[in-house]
Chain A
Amino acid sequence: MSDTVSTPLGETWRRLLRNRSFVIGAVVVSLIVAVAVLAPLIAPHDPLRNNFRTRLQPPGEIFWFGTDHFGRDILSRILHGGRISLIIGASTVVVTGIFGTAIGAVAGFFRALDEPIMRLMDAIMAFPAILLAMAIAAVMGASVTNVVIALSIATTPHTARIVRGSVLVVREMEYVEAARALGASELRVLFRHVLVNVTGPLIVRLTYVFAIAILAEAALSFIGVGPPPPAPSFGNIIANGRDFMIVAPWITIFPGLAIIAVVLGLNLLGDGLRDVLDPRTRI
Chain B
Amino acid sequence: MTSEAPLIEARSLAKVFHRRRLFAAGATGLRAVDDLDLAIHRGETLGLVGESGCGKTTTGRLLLRLIEPSAGRVMFDGHDLTSLDASAMRRLRRRMQIVFQDPYGSLNPRMTVGETITEAFIIHGIGDRTERQQRLNRLLDRVRMPRTAASRYPHEFSGGQRQRIGIARALALEPQFIVCDEAVSALDVSVQAQIINLLQDLQQDLGLTYLFISHNLAVVRHISTRIAVMYLGRIVEAAQTDALFAHPEHPYTRALLASVPVTHPSHRGRRLRLEGDLPAATAVVRGCRFAGRCPHVEDRCRSVDPELAPRPGGGLVACHRVADRTLPWSATHP
Contact = CB atoms under 8 A, between A and B. Distances in A.
Given A7-B155, A175-B107, A192-B111, 18 more contacts: A6-B110, A7-B109, A11-B155, A173-B105, A174-B105, A175-B106, A175-B116, A177-B66, A177-B98, A178-B100, A182-B93, A182-B119, A183-B89, A183-B91, A183-B120, A183-B123, A192-B108, A193-B108
Contact of B104 (A2, A188, A192): A2
B93 A197 contact: no
B90 interface: yes
A6 B288 CA distance: 47
Nearest to A172: B105
B71 to A, nearest CB: 21
A175 B155 CA distance: 14
A243 B101 CA distance: 69
A106 B193 CA distance: 43
Query: 7 tightest A-B contacts by CB?
Result: A183-B93, A174-B106, A183-B90, A174-B100, A175-B108, A196-B110, A8-B153
A181 B93 contact: yes
B102 interface: yes
A281 B124 CA distance: 39
B209 interface: no
A8 B98 contact: no
Q: Which of B91, B119, B169 has its CB near the most chain A CB atoms (within 10 A)?
A: B119
B198 interface: no
Contacts of A175: 105-108, 116
Interface in B219-277: none
Name the prevailing secondary structure of the A interface residues. helix
Interface residues of B, number: 34
A180 interface: yes
A5 interface: yes
Contacts of A6: 109-110
B45 interface: no
Nearest to B91: A183
A135 interface: no
B64 A181 contact: yes
A64 B125 CA distance: 66
B97 interface: yes
